[in-house]
Structure 1
Amino acid sequence: MKILFLTGSRSDWGYIKPIIEITKKLKINHKLCVTNMLLLDSFGYGINDIKREGFVVHEEIYMSLDGFNEYTTVKSMGIFLISFTDIIKSYKPDWVILAGDRYETMAAAMACAYTNTPIAHIQAGEVSGNIDGQARHAIGKFAHLHLASNEDAKRRLVRLGEEKFRIKVVGAPQLDDIEKLKKKKLNFSLIRSNYNIPPKKKYFLVVFHSVTEDIKNVKKNFICLFNSLNKNKLKKLWILPNNDPGSSIIKNMLISKRNEDNLIYENFPRHHYLEILSNAFCIIGNSSSGIIESSSYKIPSINLGRRQKNRLKPKNVIDIPIFSENKILKAISKIKTKKFQKQISMINNPYGDGKSSAKIIKILKSIKNEKNLMMKEMTY
């Protein structure tokens, strides 16, 4: 079996990293293709973190045109599509593992579908509130195997007309890292020293991305969030956004407002990020990490706007669909109450049990690329 993995962002690297670890352990033939923001120095050059963790990068696709608007995004997809097709032709994988809903993932799904290359799609069937949610379902239509994180996603895939034999509920593989790190018990004091961050529970972790279809309101929404947080004495650890359309607006405004209470980071290695998340007072913004990963640590999450609008949300998430300083401040006050702290102390993560990667590899090994796998039928 030959497996081709693709990653272009911090988030989907978290999806596939634990699967590659098992692939390496079992000595399964595989290649890792790195692209998009992980190759951009201005976004932290995440490929260095991947290599430092001992992973071999077999292919690199430089695709991202500067400007980070709607038009450069589409042109970047075209550049990627040409290069990724050549990699498929050369390697001829038995499976291409795609994760999530990014635009480079969408382009990869198109390349695989039209070259008759089997696609296994991690976290298929979930929903969000922007173009990414549409891309996820479009990828689902191209995918041959749906690796869903929970029953909610499975039911949605069935309603979308996907054949039931293609749908496997395995959980979210990025939670596997969390379970491993809990056992290792990293030295948080050392991480604090490396990054000059505050003590445990003395900072907000802020991960705020632009919403592609709502660029006109990015500035206003950022100011609302920034002003709300600065009415609180805790430090704010900002991780710069992905290279989505509108990201430069957030980045430029944040840098211009930088001060000793607002600490800015381009990127963290995956295991350091999780440790920083686990020790935060809360995570706030509109990242999927605040929905999927935060509940494994039983820390509060404040979710803003429509980017994660329709996701299944654990009870540690306080949802604020429309930006409002007053609502953000009320949410921060709610987090501090004994009632809320007791509530989140008893939650389970609805996205899995931290054992997804082994399930995924077992499924891939058991499936033969027979005619019914590649010849998709819609059930509606």
Structure 2
Amino acid sequence: MDTSTKSKVAFATGSRADYGIVRRYLKLLDDDPAIDLSILVTGALLEQAYGHQVDIVKEDGFSIGVEVPLGIDSLSEIGVAHSMARALEGFSAHFADNKYDLLIILGDRYEMLSVATAAAMQRIPILHIHGGEATFANYDEFIRHAITKMSLYHFTATEEYRRRVIQLGEEPDRVFNLGALGAENCLAADFDKSPSRPLPQRDYFVVLFHPETMSTADPLAQTQELLGAISELEGYDYVFIGSNADTHSDVVRAAVQDFVASNDNAHYYENLRTRDYHHLVQHAQALVGNSSSGLIEAPSLGVCTINIGHRQDGRVRGKSVLDVKCLKDEISIALRQAGSMPAPDPLDNPYYQPQTAEKYHEKTCEILNRVANDASMTKVFWDMPMEVFIDHK
């Protein structure tokens, strides 16, 4: 890459999860003398109710390009739509005055759909991470595919996901299966450093539960099924992590906080640093709930997952993931089985590839060269060969 002029690269983030996943990758970009990296912050990271975790981004030494607060005061469907409108307006104004050579977006959160729309309208090339995945019970499903269609380049976590992005009409030479950063981060983490949060004194489970945003299930009723199962299993501690800023997550959060306040063996953290979260999960009996972390990160930490309900339906999973319905009796049985489940081999994780962060950095540099030499940013719909359809009749 020509270092005489730095490439302007931005990463947009709105939640603790996506920032924690990409931190090592961002550090490689930030240390690259040919890249001028900015972090564009929005969503829950700017909200006091969710720990104001933009402070961690600043402590990590990254340059903040813009902060677009959404004023998340309601987690109803209309409240989420209003937040998306604020994000679209704020990022449209920012991109009008700041022309990046590449914008990096991870995943499928609703505020990222607004960021992608604003960037696409300003003809800013988008690199999308974690496309091609499926989560049938959440609106993340259609948001993820919509962002895919606005993006020029794609880093997927498995080959199955790469094929699905191509199936959506993306050109194969712009779609790269490089593994999941989260799966590799767990193996690269420095657990020798003292965590800022102490571990419970006895055996414990980590619980991370989110609402199913496209399901007809009652989020409060589902949470009560989970808490009912936990109440029946004595002799353990339970460490709850705060839910994402999704529709009806306030209902889940309130029920969990009430449970924790009434039970001495239950603990609650709204947010944790990535290293502290990994340290906590690594020493747990199992990760319980319906977070993608249970499918992607927990196996690399050598910990089994009790995956509840339909939120992760459609995603690739390894043998260490035990799927159960969101029913008290099924969850109770799984909790009792957790102690006898064999710990997974961290390398036997369908999302893991060695040196993922380095591969992401190297491929990003190649993409910046391609973008610099293709000012037209032409994107066509790639039609699958007819034999593919014939073979699947």
Q: Could you tell me the TM-score, scaled by structure 1's length?
A: 0.92
Corresponding residue pairs, total = 369
For residue 333 of structure 2, what is the aligned residue in structure 1? 330
Aligned equivalent of 1:141: 149
What amino acid does structure 2 have at the position aligned with 1:20?
L
Q: CA offset at residue 185 of structure 1?
A: 3.2
Distance 1:371 1:58 in 2: 23
Name the structure 2 match of 1:85: 92
**Aligned with 1:256 (options 242, 255, 258):** 258
Choose the corresponding residue for 1:102, options 95, 109, 113. Answer: 109
Normalized per residue, the structure richer in helix is 1
Is contact 1:18–1:176 with CA below 8 Å preserved after alignment?
no
Aligned to 2:4: none
* Deviation at residue 373 of structure 1 after TM alignment: 4.6
Summarize deviations over 1:126-147 as a string: whole Å, max 9, x none: 1112110111111111110010
Aligned match of 1:178 in 177, 180, 186? 186
Please give the per-residue CA displacement for 1:70-104, whole angstroms capped at 9, x wherever unaligned: 00101111111111122222221110000010011
TM-score, length of structure 2 as denominator length? 0.89
Distance 2:106 2:266 in 1: 32
Partner of 2:72: 65
Q: Equivalents in 2 of 1:215, 1:80: separation in Å? A: 27
Measure the CA separation in 2 of the matches of 1:94 and 1:231.
Answer: 55
1:356 corresponding residue in structure 2 = 356
Deviation track 1:284-314 (CA, whole Å, cap 9, x = no partner) reads: 1111101110110120101111111111011
- Letter of the 1:224 partner, please give it: E
Q: Residues of 2 paired with 1:64 and 1:145: CA distance?
A: 31
Deviation at 1:332, TM superposition (A): 2.0
Match for residue 11 of structure 1 among 13, 17, 22: 17
1:185-264 superposed matches below 5 A: 185-187=191-193, 190-191=194-195, 194-199=196-201, 202-214=203-215, 217-232=218-233, 233-258=235-260, 259-264=263-268
Q: Provide, for residues 341-374 of structure 1, a one-character-per-residue CA deviation record: whole Å limited to 9, x for no partner.
A: 16x2476111122522221222222231216753
What one-letter code is carried by the residue in structure 1 that aligns with 2:365?
Answer: K
- C-alpha distance after superposition, 1:190-246 (max 9, x if no partner): 43xx4343147x111111111223375111110110111122221110011111110
Residue 155 (1) aligns with residue 163 (2)? yes
The alpha-carbon deviation at position 23 of structure 1 amounts to 1.0
Other structure's SS at 1:4 match: strand
- Tell which deviates more after alignment, 95-104 or 216-225: 216-225
- For the aligned residue pairs, the C-alpha RMSD in angstroms reads 1.8
Distance 1:372 1:335 in 2: 54
Residue 35 and residue 174 in structure 1: after superposition, are their counterparts in 2 closer, same or farther (change >3 A)?
same
Q: Which runs of 5+ in 2 are unaligned?
A: 1-6, 385-393
- Conserved 8 A contact 1:34-1:59: yes
Pick the aligned partner of 1:43 from 23, 41, 50: 50
Deviation of 1:59 (Å): 1.5
| Partner of residue 274 from structure 2, selected from 270, 275, 285 | 270
Distance 1:311 1:64, change over 3 A: farther
1:364 partner letter: T
Query: Does the 8 Å contact 1:315/1:347 carry over to 2?
Result: no
CA contact (8 A) 1:9 1:37 kept: yes
Q: Does the 8 A contact of 1:15 with 1:99 survive in 2?
A: no
CA-to-partner distance for each residue in 1:98-121, whole Å, 9 max, x for gaps?
Answer: 001001111111112221110000
Look up the match of 1:119: 126
Tell whether the 8 Å contact from 1:314 to 1:347 is kept in structure 2 after alignment. no
| Contact kept in structure 2, 1:120 and 1:144, CA below 8 Å | yes
Whether contact under 8 Å (2:300, 2:346) holds in the other structure is: no
Residues 305 and 323, structure 1, Cα contact 8 Å, conserved in 2: yes
Q: Which residue of 2 aligns with 1:20?
A: 26
- Evaluate the alpha carbon distance shift between residue 132 and residue 276 of structure 1 in structure 2; reply closer, same or farther with a 3 A threshold: same
Q: Please state whether the residue corresponding to 2:64 is helix, strand or coil.
A: coil
Does structure 1 retain, via aligned residues, the 8 Å contact 2:134–2:314?
yes
